[in-house]
Amino acid sequence: MRLRNKPWAREKISAHPQYIIPNPEEAKGHWHEIFGNNNPIHIEVGTGKGQFVTGMAKQNPDINYIGIEMYESVIVTALDRLIEAGLPNLKLLNVDGAELLNYFEKGEVGRVYLNFSDPWPKSRHAKRRLTYKTFLSLYESLMPEGGEVHFKTDNQGLFEFSLKSFSEYGMLLTFVSLDLHNSSFEGNVMTEYEEKFSAKGQRIYRSEARFQPRA
């Protein structure tokens, strides 16, 4: 993804601490207090311009959502969506998704969404893929028993890698679609990339995987 520099982005982010949480390490263990309720918390790692997480928050007002995006010039678009929608059940974090342990306690996150993540197609870069085992271990460390990872991509190679990674980690695959838009799945909220790729006739792959109790 080519990023257009937006020198004003940092100032805009700082001006809206009610939406993009400053010093999120201080929120660790206190997210229910920040949202003001005990509803489940779902996070999207790599939220991009925020179309998916905003749509999910609108669709599910009894779930709290946190969109995580490390690039300032991208998250400001998600911020604009959130300001316009005024959703009380959505917050944003301008942080690196690889450092989630700094921001969440064990059991605070019930579900992780990964949408159209960078496929890192070269084998030597496999460890950077967000469905690699070290990332799965990271997500598991944030969740109560039975936490889930929901994954969408247009990249067949990454999807095959991810299914294998989920299985080898010991996760239970509860949903797999090789052509989401021609399936019976209901309630799908599309990302910007998903709209773009599906308009070109590309397949969208989707899976849900659940962490299993450790023996």
Annotated catalytic residues are: 118
Interatomic CA distance for residues 107 and 88, integer angstroms:
22
Question: Which residues fall within 8 angstroms of residue 142, CB to CB, at 6 or more apart?
Answer: 100, 101, 104, 105, 106, 107, 108, 109, 112
* Residue 153: strand pairing partners: 205
Would you call 61 exposed, middle or buried from its count of C-beta atoms within 10 A (0-12, 13-18, 19+)?
Answer: exposed
State residue 210 phi and psi, 5-degree precision. Answer: -115, 135
* Pairing of β 111-115 and β 172-177: unpaired
Tell which residue, 82, 85, 38, has the closest CA to residue 64: 38
Are the C-beta atoms of residues 44 and 67 closer than 8 Å to each other? yes
Question: Are the CB atoms for 43 and 64 separated by under 8 Å?
Answer: no
User: Taking a C-beta distance cutoff of 8 angstroms, is the pair 43, 65 a contact?
Assistant: yes
